[in-house]
Chains A and B, each alone.
Chain A
Amino acid sequence: MMEIIAPYIDVTRVVMPFLVRGFIETLRISFFAIIAGSVLGFAVGLMRTYRLPLINALLGLYIHFLRGTPFLVQLYLFYFVLPSTGVSWLSWDSETAAFVTLAVYTSSYVAEIVTGAIRSVPREQWEAASAIALNRYQTMRLVILPQAMRLIVQPMSGVYVILIKSTAIVSVVGIAELTRQGEQLIITFPNHLLYIYSLIAIIYFLYCYPVLRFARWLEVRVGGVKSVPME
């Protein structure tokens, strides 16, 4: 019995510090991308509800482009194509490119949720607000957004899980996050490949599963309607 387990204990002892370091990087990237993506997506989603002719068309293109292409293609566009334009401030290092791609990718999901939630607030709320002499800004801030918020919060945690899982893909441009650490460790321990990748999968699970459970809990608590398919 001991002979079977012993090598795994040795491998675990060597591998764990690297995986923990990778996980902290995953945590860091996903945390900042969540914040940037939510802010950007909120702004885009809010702007879309005003139906400004030209801006709306541009924002529609932005969202369709992001929803219609795979994340990996977007990452290559930011990492390979932008530097080739020759504009110096667009020559990003891999860290910036990965972060921006994640944030922009997240923003497309968030924007759709926010637009959907705001549009689902009944028209009468706008009419009632103007009847008590609130201006557009006050109506949005005091009447519409508080009601839309309960439709926004629940699907948002689904988006965060999508984002966390997408951070695995930025390993291909050399970000030393969890998946990347694993790729390098299996060069050292090719015989324990399955074990190392299983550890990685378990770490991702421990990160994502509570978020998914939280989404379920919110669904019961807030009773929101699913406006995007949960992934």
Chain B
Amino acid sequence: MTTWLLDYYNWRVVALYLDEFSRGLMATLNISAIALVLSLIIGTGLALARMSTRPLIWRPVAAYIQFIRATPLLVQIYIVYYALPYLLPFTLRWDEMWLGIFALVLHTAPYMGEILRVGFESVPQGQVEGAKAVGMNALQRLRYVILPQGFVNTVPPLLGQTAILIKDTSLLSLITVFELLSAGMIMNSQRIMPTESFMTVAAGYLLIYALMLVLSGWVSRRLSGPAWSVRQP
């Protein structure tokens, strides 16, 4: 009954490679998760540095952010992959996955930082003054007042940026990192079945995308964020 489908999408061959695809999917999620955590940490640092009143601190950070935003990720990946081991000799022992993660973090952290900065700046000045009035020092104000409130405001756009990050990991297949798209390319090179290979890869990414949509729907119901984060119906 379903044999006509075999002409268009030979799921029997895909089934042989199912193990490969699921390992690829896990690798994509793994790389994304590591890159996400590192980007959030570095992004927070960048946001705080960008908000500094000292030109010596915020100007270089602003220049870095602008430069990353105005150059393609692929070029950044190539620079990191080919040149980083010469610039920083201790990275010579890193395998391509960690070089790829380095490039992704280098690229994603400024975007995360800009989102977080908008969130931090949206915390009303009165909150900071209130914290000062109860005798908190700068670190305590950051830790107990600005960061918690600023972070909540930024969850929906951060999720959007995470979805972009997950899609960006596909570019790492070009520097021989094994992930979901690499799994499809391996199948295509062994069986020469582009439809089966790449449609399955696309289905894998769509699965992640669907989960992200459900998650962001749940989050935006839970948090009633400020007006700028509310999606158009």
- B-binding residues in A (CB < 8 A): 64-65, 67-74, 76-77, 80-81, 84-85, 115-116, 119-120, 161, 164-169, 171-172, 179, 182-183, 186, 193-194, 197-198, 200-201, 204-205, 207-209, 212, 225-227, 229, 231
Verify A73–B181 contact, CB threshold 8 A: yes
Partner of A197, one of B79, B160, B161, B181: B79
Can you name 11 A-B pairs with beta carbons within 8 Å? A68-B206, A70-B170, A73-B198, A73-B202, A76-B181, A81-B199, A172-B174, A197-B75, A197-B78, A208-B70, A208-B71
Verify A120–B232 contact, CB threshold 8 A: yes
Verify B157–A229 contact, CB threshold 8 A: yes
Q: Which of B87, B115, B181, B208 has the most CB of A within 10 A?
A: B181
Q: Which 9 A-B pairs have the closest CB atoms?
A: A68-B209, A168-B72, A80-B194, A208-B70, A70-B170, A70-B167, A165-B72, A116-B232, A194-B83
Residues of chain B with a CB closer than 8 A to A209's CB? 66, 70
Q: Given A166-B72, A204-B70, decide whether A81 and B209 contact each other with a Cβ distance below 8 A.
A: no
Verify A119–B233 contact, CB threshold 8 A: yes
Docked Cα-Cα span, A201 to B69, in Å, equals 11
Dominant SS at the A interface?
A: helix
Verify B70–A68 contact, CB threshold 8 A: no
Query: Scoring B residues 157 to 195 as 1 if CB is less than 8 Å from chain A, else 0, what string do you get?
Result: 100110010011111011000000100100010000111
Verify B195–A81 contact, CB threshold 8 A: yes
Residues of chain B with a CB closer than 8 A to A84's CB? 193-195
Verify A73–B170 contact, CB threshold 8 A: yes
Verify B83–A168 contact, CB threshold 8 A: no
Residue of A nearest to B82 (CB): A193
Docked Cα-Cα span, A68 to B168, in Å, equals 11
Q: From residue B132, how far is it (CB to closest CB) to chain A in Å?
A: 32
Does any Cβ of A come within 8 Å of B205's Cβ?
yes
Partner of A73, one of B111, B161, B201: B201
Residues of chain B with a CB closer than 8 A to A231's CB? 69, 111, 164
Verify A194–B70 contact, CB threshold 8 A: no
Does any Cβ of A come within 8 Å of B123's Cβ?
no
Query: Scoring B residues 130 to 172 as 1 if CB is less than 8 Å from chain A, else 0, what string do you get?
Result: 0000000000000000000000000001001100100111110
Q: Given A72-B181, A73-B181, A120-B232, decide whether A193 and B70 contact each other with a Cβ distance below 8 A.
A: no
Q: Which of B82, B86, B169 has the most CB of A within 10 A?
A: B82
Residues of chain B with a CB closer than 8 A to A115's CB? 232
Docked Cα-Cα span, A64 to B111, in Å, equals 23
How many residues does chain B have at the interface if contact means C-beta atoms less than 8 Å apart? 48
Q: From residue A122, how far is it (CB to closest CB) to chain B in Å?
A: 13
Does any Cβ of A come within 8 Å of B67's Cβ?
yes
Residues of chain A with a CB closer than 8 A to B51's CB? none
Verify B86–A194 contact, CB threshold 8 A: yes
Partner of A205, one of B67, B111, B181, B193: B67
Residues of chain B with a CB closer than 8 A to A226's CB? 228
Q: From residue B164, how far is it (CB to closest CB) to chain A in Å?
A: 7
Residues of chain B with a CB closer than 8 A to A68's CB? 205-206, 208-210
Partner of B206, one of A65, A77, A81, A208: A65
Q: Given A69-B209, A198-B79, A229-B161, decide whether A169 and B70 contact each other with a Cβ distance below 8 A.
A: no
Does any Cβ of A come within 8 Å of B42's Cβ?
no
Docked Cα-Cα span, A120 to B231, in Å, equals 11
Residues of chain B with a CB closer than 8 A to A72's CB? 170-171, 173-174, 181
Does any Cβ of A come within 8 Å of B128's Cβ?
no
Residues of chain A with a CB closer than 8 A to B195's CB? 81, 84-85
Q: From residue A166, how far is it (CB to closest CB) to chain B in Å?
A: 7
Does any Cβ of A come within 8 Å of B14's Cβ?
no
Residues of chain B with a CB closer than 8 A to A161's CB? 69-70
Verify A201–B79 contact, CB threshold 8 A: yes
Q: From residue B73, how far is it (CB to closest CB) to chain A in Å?
A: 7
Docked Cα-Cα span, A16 to B210, in Å, equals 45
Verify B72–A179 contact, CB threshold 8 A: yes
Q: Which of A70, A167, A172 has the most CB of B within 10 A?
A: A70
List 4 additional contacts besides A80-B198, A205-B71; criterion CB under 8 Å.
Answer: A68-B209, A193-B82, A197-B83, A208-B70
Docked Cα-Cα span, A82 to B228, in Å, equals 40
Residues of chain B with a CB closer than 8 A to A207's CB? 70
